[in-house]
C-alpha cells in the first residue's frame, strides 16, 4: 500500500464491483476446474478420482490479530492451512472458495493485500480460486475457506486405520509457530507500553515465519509417494502434536509410545522457550499451528523413513491396553495428554 | 427449548465435544458421500458426473436479525439458499459443509436449535452434512455454508448461454420475501415502542414464511427435466429479479423485454405493499430473497411452459441493441435497472 494515496472506500465499488475487481485476473490452472467465479456455482470435473473437501473459518480476535498479522500473510496462511487438510488425507488440493466478511473500517487496498496473499498461496500450491462470497460485517473480519482436492481411492489416508506396531512419524519441526506467537505477543505488550519502541525480532526470524506464514506440506505427500511409502494413517498438526497423536490412537483403537528425545525442535524454538521460562517439549507437544504431517507407517519402512530428510520417527503404536505414553529423556513414562484447542474456554473469551 | 431447565454453557463441551454432540446422529444419504464428518476432509465420489460447488456467508445484523428470525428457521434458510445455487445450475445438491462462529452469549440449546433447522433442510433436500468448523467469535454469529452438487455435463445451465428470442420465465411468485421483511421490521419497531404489544401477523402468514423459511426450487429442476425442457440459461433470484435478468442479458450479450402484467405477485404481497404505500411491481423487481428460478428457454417450449403450474413467462430476450426494457401495464417502456444488493452502501452500515 502506498502511504501517499488516499485509500478507496469499499462502498464505492459495491459487492459485484468488488468481486470483479478481486477476481478478474484469475487464470484457472487445473483441468478439473471447468468453470470458476462468475456463476451460481463453480463446475468441477474429477473424472475417476475421489473428491476431498474441507473447510475452515478464521475470526479476527480469535484466530488472528491484525496488530501483528499483516493482511497478506493472513491471506496466505488461510489458504495454506486449508491445503494442509487435503495433504493430511494424502491428496492434492485443486480448488478453493473464499468467503469474506469485512466491515467498512477496511479499505479496498486492505482487501487487495489480503487477496495478494490468497493468490500467492494459490500459485504456491497450484490451487484455483473458483468461488466465494463477499459481504459486510458489523465489526471484525471473518474469513471462511473451503478447499477441494483429489486422490485415488487407494491412496487416501484416514485417521482410524493405523495398525499396532506402526512407526509414528512427523515432518519438519514442532512448537516453532507457538513460540513465534509468544514472541509477537510479548512485543505487542512492549509496544503498547511504549509506542516509540521498535520490536526486536533478530535471531527469531524462523519462528516468526512459522507463525505468520506456515506452509502446507504438499512436498512431503509427494516425497512419500516417490519413495513408495503409504502412511497407514495421517493428520496435520494444527491443534498440537499430543492432540493429533491421541486422535489417531483413539480412532484406530491403539495405544502409543512417544519418545521425548526424538521430538524435532528447532534451535530458535529452544532459545525462545528458555527466554520465556517455558519447556520446549511442552511447546512441541501442545503448541499447535505447526501444520506438519503426523503419520503412521509400517515397521518395514523404517530404513526408508530414517534416511529421509525432514522426517522424524518419534515413536510407535502399541496395544490400546498399554495406554498413551510419553517416554521422557530420563526414561520415565508419563501419560500423553491433549491440551490443544481452548477457544471455548471462558478464560479465553471476552 | 424448555424454559425451566438451566441452559448449558458451550464452554462445558469444548470444540470437539460440541462437534461430536451436533454431528453424532448424522446418517449419510448419498452414495457420493463416502466419508463425512470426522477426518481432515470429507471424501466424495461423483463417478462420471460434474461437481458443482457454491458458498454463502451469513452475518448477524447484516443478513439476519435474531430479534425475529428464530434460530431453527435461520439454519433451514442458510441451507436452502445454498441448495438454491445448485438448482440454478440445473444440478442436484448432495453435500454441505457448515462453518459456524458463535460467541459465548449463545447456549448449547441455541446452537442445537440452529442445527435442527440445518438438519431439517438436509432431509428436505436429500443433502448430507459432511464437514465444517465450529469456533468462537467475539461478538455476533457468522455462518458459512458450502454446498456441493452434481450434474451431467450437458444438463448444466450457465448464465451466459441465453439466445436471442428466448422466453424469459420465472417460478413461483416474487416480492413476497421482501414484504415479509418489511412486516417484521414494522412489528419490531412497534414492539420496541411498547414492549407489551403482541405482533399482528394474521393474514400475512405466506409472506412471513417466504422471508423466514424460503425453499430451494429443486422441484422445478425436476419438473423441467420431466417435461424435457432444457433452460438455455438459469439463475436463482436472490438479489432481485431485475438484477438477475440483467446478469443473464449482460453475460449473454442480449437485450430483454419484461412485461409488468406478467410478473407473478401473490395477493398478500399486493396487500402488504398497499398497506405500506409501496409499489408491488417495484417489490417484485427489486425485493430479492425470493430464491425462485429465473430461466430462459427456446420459443418452441412456449406451449409446454404455458401449461406448467408454478411457471410464469414474463418476457423474452432480444438483440442487445434493443436494450433492457420493462413494458408497463399501460404499454409504456422503461429501462430495467438493478437495485439489488446494497450491503456495502454506507447508509446500510453501522
Dump pLDDT digits (tens) for A181-228. Answer: 999 988 888 888 888 877 778 899 999 999 999 999 999 999 999 999
Q: Which three cell numbers stand for residue B261?
A: 402484467
Q: Which three cell numbers stand for residue B102?
A: 458463535
Question: What is the least distance, in Å, from the CA of B7 to any CA of chain A?
Answer: 16
Distance between CA atoms of residues B93 and B53, nearest Å: 9
Residue from the list B59, B135, B341 with its beta carbon closest to the beta carbon of A62:
B135
Q: pLDDT at position B342, please?
A: 38
Q: What is the pLDDT of residues A309-318, one digit of tens each?
A: 999 999 999 9
A36, A25 contact by CB (below 8 A): no
A344–B44 CB contact, under 8 Å: no
B349–A104 CB contact, under 8 Å: yes
B101–A59 CB contact, under 8 Å: yes
Mutation to test the B interface, candidates A82, A146, A231, A251, most B Cβ within 10 Å: A146
A104–B40 CB contact, under 8 Å: no
- The DSSP bridge pattern shows strands B92-102 and B128-136 to be parallel
Asked if the model's pLDDT at residue B291 lies above 50, the reply is yes
* Cα A86 to Cα A58, A126, A148, A212, distances in angstroms: 18, 13, 8, 20
B290, B145 contact by CB (below 8 A): no
Q: What percent of chain B has pLDDT over 70?
A: 96
B138–A59 CB contact, under 8 Å: yes
Q: Residue B4 — pLDDT band, cuts 50, 70, 90?
A: low
Q: Residue A3 — pLDDT band, cuts 50, 70, 90?
A: low
Structural domains for chain B? 10-155 (3.30.1330.10), 167-348 (3.90.650.10)
Q: What are the chain B neighbours of A91 within 8 Å (beta carbons)? A: 41
**With the C-alpha atoms ordered A288, A293, A299, A303, is the resulting torsion angle positive or negative?**
negative
Read off the pLDDT of each residue in B40-58 and give the average, rounded to a whole number.
Answer: 91
- Cell numbers 473447510 correspond to A55
**Residue A106: closest C-alpha in chain B:** B344
Most confident of A108-112, B55-59, B293-297: B293-297
Question: What is the least distance, in Å, from the CA of B62 to any CA of chain A?
Answer: 7
Q: What is the pLDDT of residues A60-103, one digit of tens each?
A: 988 898 888 899 999 999 999 999 999 999 999 999 999 999 98
Tell whether residue B25 is among the known ligand binding residues: no
Tell whether residue A289 is among the known ligand binding residues: yes
User: Nearest-CA neighbor of A163 among A263, A301, A18, A45?
Assistant: A301
Helix axes A267-275, A205-212, angle to 10 degrees: 100
Cβ partners under 8 Å of residue A188, min gap 6: A65, A67, A68
Concatenate the DSSP letters of all residues of B242-305 into one string.
HHHHHHHHHHHTEEEEEEGGG----HHHHHHHHHTT--HHHHHHH-----PEEEEE-GGGHHHH
B147, B95 contact by CB (below 8 A): yes
Q: What is the pLDDT of residues A290-336, one digit of tens each?
A: 999 999 999 999 999 999 999 999 999 999 999 999 999 999 999 99
Q: pLDDT at position B187, please?
A: 87
The phi and psi torsions of B36 (rounded to 5 degrees) equal -100, -130
Tell whether residue A236 is among the known ligand binding residues: yes
**Residue B236: closest C-alpha in chain A:** A40
A86–B41 CB contact, under 8 Å: yes
Asked if the model's pLDDT at residue A242 lies above 90, the reply is yes
**Residue A147: closest C-alpha in chain B:** B41
Q: pLDDT at position B139, please?
A: 79
Residue from the list A14, A57, A158 with its beta carbon closest to the beta carbon of B344:
A14
* Cα B44 to Cα A90, A135, B31, B33, distances in angstroms: 14, 29, 9, 5
Tell whether residue A215 is among the known ligand binding residues: no
**Residue B342: closest C-alpha in chain A:** A14
Read off the pLDDT of each residue in B165-184 and give the average, rounded to a whole number.
Answer: 96
Q: pLDDT at position A4, please?
A: 67
Concatenate the DSSP letters of all residues of A224-262 into one string.
HHHTT---SEEEE-SS-HHHHHHHHHHHHTEEEEEEGGG
Question: What is the least distance, in Å, from the CA of B304 to any CA of chain A?
Answer: 26
B57–A101 CB contact, under 8 Å: yes
Mutation to test the B interface, candidates A344, A348, A350, most B Cβ within 10 Å: A344
**Residue B50: closest C-alpha in chain A:** A45
Strands ordered across the beta sheet of A233-236: A233-236, A293-297, A167-171, A311-319, A254-259, A324-327, A333-335
Where would I find the H helices in chain B? Answer: 14-23, 71-87, 108-125, 176-193, 205-212, 218-226, 241-252, 267-275, 280-286, 302-306
Q: What is the pLDDT of residues B245-260, one digit of tens each?
A: 999 999 999 999 999 9
Q: What are the chain B neighbours of A10 within 8 Å (beta carbons)? A: 344
Distance between CA atoms of residues B157 and B50, nearest Å: 12
Residue from the list B18, B51, B57 with its beta carbon closest to the beta carbon of A133:
B57
B42–A52 CB contact, under 8 Å: yes
Question: What is the least distance, in Å, from the CA of A245 to any CA of chain B?
Answer: 13
Cβ partners under 8 Å of residue A231, min gap 6: A90, A157, A169, A224, A295, A296, A297
Q: Residue A349 — pLDDT band, cuts 50, 70, 90?
A: very low
Question: What is the least distance, in Å, from the CA of A44 to any CA of chain B?
Answer: 5
Strands ordered across the beta sheet of A142-151: A128-136, A92-102, A142-151, A50-59, B42-44, B33-35
Find the angle CA(A144)-CA(A148)-CA(A154) to the nearest 5 degrees: 140
Q: Which three cell numbers stand for residue B138?
A: 467475539
Asked if the model's pLDDT at residue A342 lies above 60, the reply is no
A138–B350 CB contact, under 8 Å: yes
**Residue A159: closest C-alpha in chain B:** B39
Tell whether residue B159 is among the known ligand binding residues: yes
Looking at the DSSP bridge assignments, the partners of residue B101 are B135, B142
Distance between CA atoms of residues A142 and A58, nearest Å: 6
A53–B131 CB contact, under 8 Å: yes
Q: Which three cell numbers stand for residue A66?
A: 491484525
A142–B343 CB contact, under 8 Å: no
Q: Mean pLDDT check: name the lowest of A27-41, A67-81, B161-175.
A: A27-41
A59–B158 CB contact, under 8 Å: no
Q: Which three cell numbers stand for residue B252?
A: 449473454
Asked if the model's pLDDT at residue B192 lies above 90, the reply is no
* Cα A274 to Cα A185, A268, A283, B134, distances in angstroms: 16, 10, 11, 34
Cβ partners under 8 Å of residue A11, min gap 6: A104, B344, B345, B346, B349
Average model confidence (pLDDT) across chain A = 90
Tell whether residue A105 is among the known ligand binding residues: no
The phi and psi torsions of B101 (rounded to 5 degrees) equal -115, 130
Asked if the model's pLDDT at residue B348 lies above 50, the reply is no
Distance between CA atoms of residues B36 and B188, nearest Å: 40
A40–B16 CB contact, under 8 Å: no
Strands ordered across the beta sheet of B233-236: B233-236, B293-297, B167-171, B311-319, B254-259, B324-327, B333-335
Residue from the list B9, B16, B131 with its beta carbon closest to the beta carbon of A54:
B131
Looking at the DSSP bridge assignments, the partners of residue B169 are B295, B313
Amino acid at each position: 500500500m502506498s502511504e501517499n494515496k488516499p485509500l478507496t472506500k469499499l462502498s464505492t465499488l459495491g459487492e459485484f464491483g468488488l468481486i470483479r475487481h478481486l477476481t478478474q485476473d484469475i487464470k484457472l490452472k487445473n483441468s478439473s476446474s471447468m468453470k470458476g467465479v462468475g456463476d451460481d456455482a463453480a463446475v468441477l470435473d474429477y473424472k475417476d478420482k475421489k473428491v476431498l473437501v474441507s473447510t475452515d473459518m478464521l475470526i479476527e480476535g480469535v484466530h488472528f490479530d491484525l496488530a501483528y498479522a499483516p493482511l497478506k500473510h493472513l491471506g496466505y496462511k488461510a489458504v495454506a492451512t486449508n491445503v494442509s487438510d487435503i495433504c493430511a488425507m494424502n491428496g492434492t488440493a485443486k480448488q478453493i472458495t473464499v468467503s469474506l466478511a469485512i466491515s467498512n473500517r477496511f479499505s479496498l487496498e486492505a482487501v487487495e493485500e489480503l487477496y495478494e496473499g490468497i493468490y500467492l498461496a494459490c500459485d504456491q500450491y497450484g490451487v484455483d480460486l473458483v468461488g466465494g462470497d463477499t459481504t459486510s460485517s458489523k465489526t471484525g473480519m471473518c474469513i471462511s475457506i473451503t478447499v477441494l482436492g483429489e486422490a485415488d481411492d487407494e491412496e487416501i489416508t484416514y485417521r482410524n486405520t493405523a495398525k499396532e506396531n506402526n512407526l509414528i512419524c512427523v515432518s519438519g519441526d514442532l512448537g516453532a509457530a507457538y513460540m513465534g506467537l509468544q514472541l509477537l505477543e510479548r512485543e505487542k505488550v512492549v509496544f503498547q507500553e511504549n509506542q516509540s519502541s521498535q520490536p526486536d525480532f533478530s535471531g527469531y526470524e524462523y519462528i516468526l515465519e512459522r507463525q505468520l506464514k506456515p506452509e502446507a506440506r504438499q512436498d512431503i505427500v509427494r516425497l512419500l509417494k516417490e519413495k513408495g511409502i503409504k502412511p497407514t494413517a495421517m493428520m496435520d498438526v494444527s491443534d498440537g502434536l499430543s492432540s493429533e497423536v491421541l486422535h489417531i490412537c483413539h480412532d484406530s483403537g491403539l495405544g502409543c509410545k512417544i519418545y521425548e528425545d526424538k521430538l524435532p525442535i528447532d534451535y530458535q524454538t529452544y532459545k525462545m522457550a528458555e527466554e520465556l521460562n517455558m519447556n520446549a517439549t511442552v511447546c512441541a507437544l501442545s503448541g499447535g499451528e505447526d501444520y506438519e504431517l503426523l503419520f503412521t507407517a509400517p515397521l518395514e519402512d523404517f530404513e526408508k523413513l530414517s534416511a529421509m530428510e525432514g522426517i522424524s520417527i518419534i515413536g510407535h503404536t502399541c496395544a490400546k491396553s498399554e495406554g498413551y505414553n510419553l517416554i521422557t529423556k530420563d526414561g520415565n513414562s508419563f501419560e500423553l495428554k491433549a491440551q490443544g484447542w481452548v477457544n471455548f474456554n471462558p478464560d479465553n473469551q471476552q
